Amino acid sequence: MLFALRRCFESAFLALFLLLACVPVQAQDLTFPRDRLTIETADGKEHGFEVELAVDADHRQQGLMNRRQMAPDHGMFFDFGQTRRVMMWMKNTYLPLDMLFLGEDGGILTIRENAVPLSEAIIDSGEPVAYVLELNAGTVKRLGIATGDVVKTPQIDNRPTEASP
């Protein structure tokens, strides 16, 4: 009886392990919708990017995890569907990133440059935000992007405001 119970427990544990081992593989197969956006800097310059959109829970959870490269004019745009304080990390993310935390109007409120790959340290928006834009590390410095600059994208323009019915 004890042997059969132990064997049953081992089988259940193995099945659970195999199931959990498959989850990241499935998550890597996500296809992200794409869009274009522009960052307008205070000096009047416009910088265009092609971004992948992380607009639902699965896409936001996956983000740029397990990516080994990203074109210089690409990024990932996270829409949280509401304005709130956001905390992110770099677990399973191999690319160093600049993170831009945006208000509802696309204004850049907070910038966290050079996020360390594979780190589990929390990267905090520091205040309520609606969106996060991730770009290759060094992009903020190279293009002179600063708080107060504005991100323009249909994703922001077409989002209903929280006050809307």
Per-residue pLDDT of the chain (165 residues; tens, 9 = 90+): 545 544 544 554 444 444 444 444 444 568 999 999 999 999 999 999 999 999 999 999 999 999 999 999 999 999 999 999 999 999 999 999 999 999 999 999 999 999 999 999 999 999 999 999 999 999 999 999 999 999 999 989 887 665 544
Residue 158's pLDDT is 81
Structure tokens at 132: 């996060």
Distance separating alpha carbons of residues 148 and 142, to the nearest angstrom: 17
Residue 161 pLDDT: 60
pLDDT at 159: 73
* The pLDDT of residue 15: 47
Classify strands 97-102 and 46-54 as parallel, antiparallel or unpaired: unpaired
Under 8 Å CB-to-CB from 94, ≥6 apart: which residues? 66, 67, 68, 117, 118
Q: What is the pTM of this model?
A: 0.79
Residue 8 amino acid letter: C
Quick one: which of 102, 85, 84 has its CA closest to 40? 102
CA distance 123 to 93: 13
What distance in Å separates the CA atoms of residue 115 and residue 90, rounded to the nearest whole number? 7
| Confidence at residue 10, expressed as pLDDT on a 0 to 100 scale | 54
